[in-house]
Amino acid sequence: MYDVAVIGAGPAGATLARLIGKSRKVLVIERRDLLEQKQDTITKLCGGLIAPDAQCMLGKLGLGVPREVLVGPQLFTVRTIDIQKNMERYYQRHYINIDREKFDVWLGSLIPASVDIRCGWFFKSFERTGTSVRLKLKFNGKEYIEETKLLVGADGAFSPVRRILAPQIPQKKYLAVQEWFKVSQNLPYFLVIFDQTLTDFYSWTIPKEEYLLVGAALLPREKPREKFTSLKEKLRHYGFEVKDPVKKGAALIIRPQSSSQICLGEGNISLIGEAAGLISPTSAEGLSYALRSALALAQSIQEDPQNYLRSYFRRTGSLKYNIIAKNLKAPFMYRPFLRQAVMKSGITSMKQPQLSDKE
């Protein structure tokens, strides 16, 4: 029997396994092959930017991003365009631009050798059996059973563990669509696009070496394909080279509208990262929440294994307040009149230098 079984080896699951792997008997189940990158492996849809909050958490965890994970250019500017109001602003903000799949492989490589990592395995279901949890797993078409004292769902926004544990808690869903385009020249900024005719969330472009990543968070039932096509047409109007994508992807993401949509666990089952509903409702940034919740759960398991969940609830209280605060901020970003007032004021924006021919 395992002490802890972790479903998912993304940033949340890998961090938890790294922190408790030397003192507990740990099983990690991951559907992707994170031990060896392959061309046909399952990849995670992600913009691949490490925001300042996540950078802070990496620092607290004593981690520095290795060179092989980085991609150019490194970004210090956000260009913001409100298409309907025909307004734009530039804001200073430092992101670390990364290859997301290599980042996950790197985090996975930090997990202690004593941890049982099973890549290419799928979690099917769980059943409580007294003081333990029985897991049903699948690998190469065959089903397997494992038993654990504690089960942790670190399996993303639409976590099967959460779906079984708390199916009654609603979540607002978006379809995140991304395409990669080869471009002759990339601009050194992260572009954020607001357009209420496309989505009540936002769209983006991110430069990645010789490629430009174009994405949008769209409501699944409001013609997302047609709206993504419309986004690309509008980007071409702004001079972006977005023809003939070399790679496409789509995935459902969530957007918590209140702290009541966060589910941290029950009994001997807990959730971390996006599986718990921990993701920014203003930007859909999830890495900092993944790292913070993984650290909080690891500390709780290590210090008080009998009452770990109570301790975990207490340690993640600030994350709930953070999401409440971001929902209070959201109207100033996503309600057109308030956004226009903020952008028109120029608060915290950067002035772009205008150089004459003589200069």
- Nearest 5°: phi and psi at 42? -70, 130
In the structure, what pLDDT confidence band is assigned to residue 348 with cuts at 50, 70 and 90?
Answer: confident
Token pair recorded at residue 341: 């007032």
Q: What is the pLDDT of residues 237-276, one digit of tens each?
A: 999 989 999 999 999 899 999 989 999 999 999 999 999 9
Instruction: Quote the CA–CA distance of 253 and 273 in Å, as a whole number.
Output: 12
Cα R_g (the chain), whole angstroms: 21
Instruction: Quote the CA–CA distance of 154 and 11 in Å, as a whole number.
Output: 9
Category of 139 on φ-ψ map: left (φ > 0), alpha (ψ -120 to 50) or beta: beta
Q: What is the pLDDT of residues 181-219, one digit of tens each?
A: 999 888 899 999 999 999 999 999 999 999 999 999 999
Instruction: Quote the CA–CA distance of 146 and 199 in Å, as a whole number.
Output: 43
Q: What is the pLDDT of residues 290-302, one digit of tens each?
A: 999 999 999 999 9
DSSP code of 98?
Answer: B
Q: What is the pLDDT of residues 53-96, one digit of tens each?
A: 999 999 999 999 999 999 999 999 999 999 999 999 999 999 99
3-state secondary structure of 76: strand
In the structure, what pLDDT confidence band is assigned to residue 358 with cuts at 50, 70 and 90?
Answer: very low
In the structure, what pLDDT confidence band is assigned to residue 36 with cuts at 50, 70 and 90?
Answer: low
| Percent over 90 (pLDDT), the chain | 83
DSSP code of 311?
Answer: H
pLDDT of residue 37: 53
In the structure, what pLDDT confidence band is assigned to residue 278 with cuts at 50, 70 and 90?
Answer: very high
pLDDT of residue 130: 84
- Distant-in-sequence, close-in-space partners of 33: CB < 8 Å, separation ≥ 6: 41, 42, 119, 120
What's the farthest any 2 CA atoms get from each other in the chain? 80
DSSP 180-236: EEE-S---SSEEEEE-TTT-SS-EEEEEETTEEEEEEEE-TTS-HHHHHHHHHHHHH
Task: Give how far Cα 259 sits from Cα of 83, 204, 219, 255, Å.
Answer: 31, 26, 21, 11
Q: What is the pLDDT of residues 231-248, one digit of tens each?
A: 999 999 999 989 999 999
- Please calculate the CA angle 324-330-331 and round it to the nearest 5 degrees: 125
- N residues, the chain: 359
Tell the residue number behind the tokens 């472009």, with chain if given. Answer: 205
